[in-house]
Structure formats: C-alpha cells, structure tokens
A and B are shown apart, each in its own frame.
Chain A
Amino acid sequence: MTISTRRQLLASAAIIVFSRAAFGHTILGKLPWRPNEVYPPEPLGSPGWHFFTPGEAATVDAMVDRFIPADELGPGGKQAGCTVFIDRQLSGPYGTYEWLYMKGPFPADPLPSQGLQSPLTPRQQYRLGLAALNAYCRGKYDNRAFAQLDADAQDKLLDGMEKGEVQLPEFSARMLFGTVLANTMEGFFADPIYGGNRDMAGWKLIGFPGTRYDYRDVMQNPNKPYSLPPVGLKGRVSADRSPT
C-alpha cells in the first residue's frame, strides 16, 4: 500500500492496531535463527557518479575540501571520499526523502525548532543549489565556477552563505551551506562501506575505535594507551572504490 494522504495514514495505523489485537500471538520456542543468515551492506555500485554531473561533483569536491582541508593531521574531505558518500546517498532513498511526509503547508519563515520546512528533496537542493552557486560565482568572479576560485575566495563566500549575507539567485544560500556541511560531516565519520571516511581517516583523526563492541580488556587496563586500529563493518581494510 502506498500512503499518500494523512487520512490513509491514519486509517492504516488503525488497521495495524486492530490486526495486532486480532492476531496477537506469543512466541514460543527458541529465537528465530537461520544458518547463513546475513544482511551484508550494499556495495557502492559501479564506479563513476551516480547522481552528480561532473560539474556538480567538482563543486562539491571544492566545498568539502574547504570544510575539511587536507593538513598535517590527515586527508581532506575530497580525498576521504565525502563527495562519493554524498553522491551515493543522493542516489538512494535519502535523495528523495522517501520516508518523510513531504506535503505542505510550509511556513515562509519557520522557527529553527520546526526542523525541515521545505518541499525540496535533497536531490533538488543539490541540483538547484549548486547551479545557483555557480551562477552566482560566474556573475561575480569573472565567469569562473566555484571550483575555480582560490581557497580564500571560497572561504569568504562560504562564510557569507553561512551568515545569510550572500544571496544566491533563486536558492537559499543558507540551506545549501547547511545541507552540504551536514552531509560532509556524515561522510567523514560514517562507516567506510558508504564511500566516505576512506581508510577510516575520520575515525583515526578523532581516535574512534569503529565497530568494535567489547571493551572489557580495555576497561580492565586503565591509563594504558588504546592501541588497536579502528575496524569498520567490513573489517580493518575499507573496501571502498573511488569513482572514475
């Protein structure tokens, strides 16, 4: 059943409530388990961009590298795979906000506590937002795209977007800034199976041990340095692939 109106949603909730009452049963016997039962993570898919155009990818590469520049502490956002992460997220259910209620009304000037108040899906935000950003740059900086600006100019522009001082043509600069920054952090710290956090760069930077889930040995040895390398859902080596 696809649920497209609130009323249908309520009706289906009622069905679920009633059918639970009617067919409720007690589980006896041992916990269900099947040999070979696994839910392996979805692979990143074929190389190349799944959502971005090459121009969009270059713009996002430039942005994530300003948010997390490469330095003596480790690789920057681009090298850590943040753009790949965002591309794969946008091509999946996140890209369309598949699981969110996306009908209005949307207040024109929502309070921050009201959360997301826009009909734009992440795909639309990137497609329209990046186009608006580059149109703005070409107008202001001698027909150059964002990626072609020098780092100082990029920083200044991003700063203005964050503060709401820059007006992009027909797109909220703040929204674009907020979305890309949030997704960059997600890509930098998510498990490497999603394409970002390549070689666990993000986890190594902050000393996060990854998906280990037992620390009895460590707890019993206080004040000793923790020496194990991080481990991801796929193991110690991240099996991600860089696009093209």
Chain B
Amino acid sequence: MRRLFLVLAAALLPIAALPFTAGAAPDDYTQVERGRYLAIGGDCVACHTIPGGTQWAGGRGIQTPFGDIVTPNLTPDEETGIGHWSADDFYRAMHTGVMPSGAHLYPAFPYTYYTKVTRADSDAIYAFLRTLPAVHNAVDRDTLPFPFKVRALMLGWNEMFFRAGTFEADPQRSAEYNRGAYLVEGLGHCGACHTPMNWAGANDAARYLQGNVLQAWTDPNITDEQRIGLGSWSVDDIVEYLKTGRNARAQASGPMAEVVVYSTSGMSDADLHAIATYLKQRGAAGPAAPSPRPADDAQMQSGAVVYTDNCSACHKRDGTGVEAMFPPLRGDQVVQQTDPTTVLRIVLQGAQGAATDAAPTAPAMPAFSWRLSDQQVADVVTYIRNSWGNTAQAVPASDAARLRKRVADTAE
C-alpha cells in the first residue's frame, strides 16, 4: 500500500519538479515503477501481446476498418523490438505518431490520445520498457492492403484529424477533475472506443464519449447522460466497475473486460476516483429517447414469451437481476444504446464478465443461437429495450441475422 502511495505521489508531482533525463538508467527504481504503473493505465500490454503469448512481444492483430494492423514488439530487443530507440524516439512516437525512421504509425496505435501524455510520463514508461527482458519476435508491419499500406497517407490524415499537444489542465476545475481528464483523454484513450468515428476512422470530437461500435461490440455512451450514459451511476459505481469489472448495475464484457483486467483494475483508487469525477462532471450528451414500443406491439408480445422462457430465470421477470451474479436489464445502459450490437451478440453467443482479483467469479451467460430464430432474438431484444421503463429503438430480425453470421465462429 505504501508503495502505491509513493507511486501516486510521484504521479501527481508537477512535471517540473521531476528530475528526469532522457534514457534514464533502468535502475532508477522510482521512475521505472511509475512507468510500470502508467503503462497499466495505458493498457499497452493488452494490444502488444498475442493472447497466450509473451507479454510485450507484440504480434496481435488490431482490427481496423481498413484491415488488421499487427502490434510491434516493445521489448528492448535490438533487432525486432525497440532496443535501439532513445527516450526522444519514444516520446516522438507517443506524441506525434512518427517512428525514428520518420515513417508514420497508424492511429490503431492510439497516439492521437497518447499525445497528451507529459514528457516525464513518457520517459517513465520508456524507462520501464527498458527493464523488460528482450524477446526476439519479428512481426509483419506491412499487413494493410494498398492504398492504406502507404504510411505517408497518414500525413494527410494527421493534417485533417490530429493535433499534437500535451494535456493542459483547466484552471476552472478541481485538481481531481484534471487528473481524471489527463487519464481519460490521454493514457486511458477511453475515447478511442467510446467516441463515434468518421469515414476515415478518426474519432469525431464533436461527439466525444457518446458511444460507438467496434469489433461487433457496442461501446456505450459514457457521458453523464441519464438514459444511455452514466447519469444514473454514482462516482462510486464507476470506480467499482473499473476496479472490479462489475457493480450492482453492470458487468464488463468483451473489450471492456480486457480494459478492466489489464488496465483499470490495476489503477489506484485515487486515479479511478479522478476518472469517475471527470466523467460525471464533464456533462451529458446523447440522442433524445425514442418513444417506447407499446406493450401490444407484436414484437413486444413475442419477446415477452421468449424472455419468460429463456431469460427470466437469471435476469428475473422484472428485469432486476441478481446482485453480483446476473446484471439487471431494467434501467441498464448497454441494453438501451441506440446501436443494439452488443445485446444481439450477447444473446446469440453468450458472454462472460471480467475476472479480477476483487471479483474473481466472472459469471457467464450461455449462448442462445442454437435455440432462438433471428426473429425471436430480435423480439426478445426489442422487448428488454422497451420494458420496465427502458426505451430504445425496435430491432429488426435482419439485424439479428447479420450479427449471427458475423459472430458465428468468432472466439473473440
């Protein structure tokens, strides 16, 4: 615990007060430990490791609309890793998305967020990466089809969608809010998933944190919006979710389960509190609620039957669920997102929540694809989106059919 406080205190120190030198010797214990902690906050290892492979050695394909981009090896191996990179090289990559050779990195590496990271924090992460055992692992850096394989294209992209710049605190806000903003807008790169994207795969700043769809998962609205955002969540609800992967209202599954396991569950309570404070105080934004489906709608009636027979045993007939075991669907945000992808997917292929030290059980929901037709899936999803006070758009059977094809064989 004391170590945590030290780390934290160090993290909160003003940049100027920190004695740092580029390429700090790896025996600078405080800096290395701070770097280790910051790397957790940046969720680096989740992307830079093949599931089941050597940590930090890269090789995982990151899905983008333009093709998969393979993550490089971040261990200090001279030939295949970043052994020959200096702290300046590293900062340049984090801050501007450019490799030492001058070639551009793709924003699948979230430099559009990491640009906000301070030089001191970048150096700490660098110092930590130098302490990793060097692993020889060459990965294919050239996986995109033409024309996207031309890295120089990113020049134009950056011109249009990217401004390099370190985080600047808002003097009108509390120190805690600013700490949260630094983490969410920077290392945490929460917006990379939670913000809608434009045609070029860039996050749409005007709709920051208002929800998105990636890899056939809905990334919910995490502004302070009441119906589909975090408006009805308390700061403590958010902290508990990020720390343990669940709270009385929700369980993190899919990509968010990974974020919790690799990143937020390893963050300090103070930092999580800062993140939650920022998310709660930043403001609310989102679409107006549609009018709820009438109870005598054909989909609602058929959905009620499917729900009673298949779902009520766990989620209860009134949708209130069982605390710490089956999430409530009544008043649930994931269920009411404008885009129903996650809900359809969970019904079709099942889901398992995150397992963390604080909540190791990770209860799972079984797959229903073998038992429910596309129409039944669409009906039950429409039903839970419009019962017990929930409101959201009805879902057509064609959506269920499309997703059934998409997730039929995936192990994601």
Contacts and interface: CB of A to CB of B under 8 A. Distances in A.
Given A228-B308, A231-B309, A236-B305, A38 B408 contact: no
Interface stretch (A26-34, A70-78, A140-148): A26-34
Contacts of A217: 312, 316-317
Interface in A27-71: 29-31, 33-38, 40
A40 B372 CA distance: 12
A110 interface: no
A138 interface: no
Given A29-B355, A30-B355, A31-B362, A36 B313 contact: no
A234 B407 contact: no
B313 A214 contact: yes
B371 A35 contact: no
A34 to B, nearest CB: 6
A21 B362 CA distance: 29
A37 B408 CA distance: 10
Contacts of A33: 350, 352, 362, 364
Given A30-B352, A30-B360, A234-B371, A35 B312 contact: no
B400 to A, nearest CB: 15
B409 interface: yes
Mostly, the B contact residues are loop
A38 B366 contact: yes
Interface string B361-375: 110101101111000
Contacts, number: 62
A6 interface: no
B168 interface: no
Contact of A35 (B355, B370, B372, B412): B412
B349 interface: yes
A103 interface: no
Interface in A2-43: 29-31, 33-38, 40
Contacts of B352: 30-31, 33
A30 B362 contact: yes
Interface string B343-362: 00000111110010000111
Nearest to A233: B371
Contacts of B348: 36
Interface string B306-341: 001110111011000000000000000000000000
Interface string A201-236: 000000000001110110000000000100100111
Interface of A is mostly: loop
Contact of B408 (A30, A36, A228): A36
B21 interface: no
A236 B309 contact: yes
Given A35-B407, A235-B309, A214 B412 contact: no
B411 interface: yes
A216 B411 CA distance: 34
> Which size bracket describes the interface of B in this complex?
20 to 34
Nearest to B365: A33
Nearest to A36: B349
A35 B316 CA distance: 23
Contacts of A214: 312-314, 316
B172 interface: no
Contacts of A36: 348-350, 367, 369, 407-411
Q: Which of B310, B372, B412 has the most CB of A within 10 A?
A: B310
A54 B282 CA distance: 76
A235 B349 contact: no
Contacts of A37: 350, 366-367
A30, A37, A217, A236 — most chain B CB neighbours (10 Å): A30
B361 to A, nearest CB: 8
Contacts of B410: 35-36
Contacts of B313: 212-214
Contacts of B362: 30-31, 33
A34 B312 contact: no
User: Which of A31, A33, A212, A231 has the most CB atoms of chain B within a 10 A radius of its CB?
Assistant: A33
Given A217-B317, A235-B371, 4 more contacts: A38-B366, A214-B312, A217-B312, A235-B372
29 contacts: A29-B355, A30-B352, A30-B355, A30-B361, A30-B362, A31-B352, A31-B361, A31-B362, A31-B364, A33-B352, A33-B362, A35-B351, A35-B367, A35-B407, A35-B411, A35-B412, A36-B409, A36-B411, A37-B366, A38-B369, A38-B370, A40-B370, A40-B371, A212-B309, A214-B313, A217-B316, A234-B371, A235-B371, A236-B309
10 closest Cβ pairs, A-B complex: A30-B355, A214-B313, A30-B362, A40-B370, A35-B349, A33-B352, A33-B364, A36-B349, A231-B309, A38-B370
